[in-house]
Amino acid sequence: MAVNIESTDAGTDPLPRGRWKYLDKFITRPGAFTDPDAFEPGQAAIEGLERQKVLVIGAGGLGCEILKNLALSGFKDIHVIDMDTIDVSNLNRQFLFRASDVGSYKAEVAAKFVEKRVKGVKITPYCGKIQDKDEEYYMQFSMIVCGLDSIEARRWINATLVGMVDGENPDSMKPLVDGGTEGFKGQARVIFPTMTSCIECQLDMHAPRAAVPLCTLATIPRQPQHCIEWAHIIAWEEHRKDITLDTDDPEHITWLYQKALARAKEFNIEGVTYSMTQGVVKNIIPAIASTNAIVAASCCNEAFKIATNTNPFLGYPEQDNYMMYTGDESVYTYTFEHQKKDDCPVCGSGNIARPLQVNPNITLQDFIDGLAERPEAQLKYPAIRTGEKSLWMQLASLQEQLRPNLDKRMVDLVEEGEELTITDKSFPTQFKYKVVFSK
């Protein structure tokens, strides 16, 4: 959409621009909190906003709201990534989709819908994983806005953006605006890679849910979630142990759903659905449309402020960088500054080994299982080595050789104060820990 603002005398407002006139109040005149050194009101601000190239990751409940908001906020060049297809269960809150779209890719349908409704906006979809793209792809964007339902995906893009930063090239630092919801709760945060607290610094705020005892899963399931966990933990290992479970693969989720449904019928348990299977396996809490709308609005507000400098944004020097929202009893928001951690394995200085409490008498197998549940680690597919030897690897060709280690006690494998280097195929990062034996 061509934008023309007629010149006016100093001190007067520019002429309105049709449907965009509400934006003129922000980008064609300074406000009470505007930094005069960073903001040039008028045509320059409008053209600068339209030149922004923004990537939206996720086209689900949050992503639909984010795409709509960005398009209506004056962004003209938007890309979106999502690998999922539309399910009937999405239609109650992912408002860009209709019943006739079921089975189609979310990214494609969302892009076409917004382009049709907001003229002059170009939205480029990619139907696949964020891991499919390399640093060169992400380097083309001015910022990334995430509406993901996966901690693992957040950690991957966070590590990728931090790794892209080149001190000699200011354009290599890509702001990350991240939103997330859990029922009536949500958060929006702004991350400037290497400059502010990153997602890995904040990982312990997103602790995994407590595990269900295996005896319950194996013998007396009482809830539909127990049947799904049984399929996830036990049935997959029995029938498909040579295949690594990909929680983003529809074929894998379908297999788990079918197994869980059969298990539920065996024990006269009702309520197992495909959507619930996704939620349990990926640790997703069902979304609420109003929460999505509020958090997406906050994310897009921050993206607009970063792009235009009309007002201070989250993460602005000496400003709060994290907004929390809760709406279960009333509407409540709180902003604070999450501190950058020097020993963060992603953005910390010097790749410092973090202390890790370890019970010396547990087996390596117990230690590996526990890494997935530790708030500060959350590593599901770890490969572990010391400075001198490998304790466990994910490569099938090496597992047979290392399998005897699984039954050995940690005290027999490592020493107090020894460093462990742990990698996980889900993340482009090495995690270093210093063993501290618990008493």
Would you name the residues annotated as active-site residues? 215
Alpha helix ranges (H) inside 210-249 = 214-219, 224-230, 236-240
Residue 254 near residue 231 (C-beta atoms within 8 A): no
DSSP H/E element including 158: helix 151-164
Torsion angles phi and psi, residue 222, rounded to 5: -120, -15
Q: How far apart are CA 179 and CA 298, in angstroms?
A: 8
Tell me the two tokens of residue 204. Answer: 């312990």
In degrees, to the nearest 5, what angle opens at C-alpha 114 toward C-alphas 113 and 120? Answer: 125
Closest CA to 80 of 23, 117, 133: 133
Burial class (CB in 10 A: 0-12, 13-18, 19+), 263: buried
By the 8 A CB rule, do 141 and 174 touch?
Answer: yes
Q: What one-character DSSP code corresponds to residue 86?
A: P
Listed in sequence order, the residues at least 6 apart from 436 whose beta carbon sits closer than 8 Å to its beta carbon are 355, 356, 357, 358, 416, 417
Residue-wise DSSP of 33-69: T--TTT---SHHHHHHHHH-EEEEE--SHHHHHHHHH
For 334, the token pair is: 């709180």
- The count of other CB atoms within 10 Å of the CB of residue 290 is 13
| Helix (H) or strand (E) segment spanning residue 357 | strand 354-358
Give the integer Cα–Cα distance in Å for 437 and 410. Answer: 9
Q: Does residue 136 sit in helix, strand or coil?
A: helix
Rounded CA-CA distance 34/49 in Å is 16
- Please name which of 316, 293, 334 lies closest in space to residue 184, comparing C-alpha atoms: 293
Q: Which two three-digit tokens encode residue 64?
A: 């639909």
The rounded radius of gyration (Å) of the Cα atoms in the chain is 24
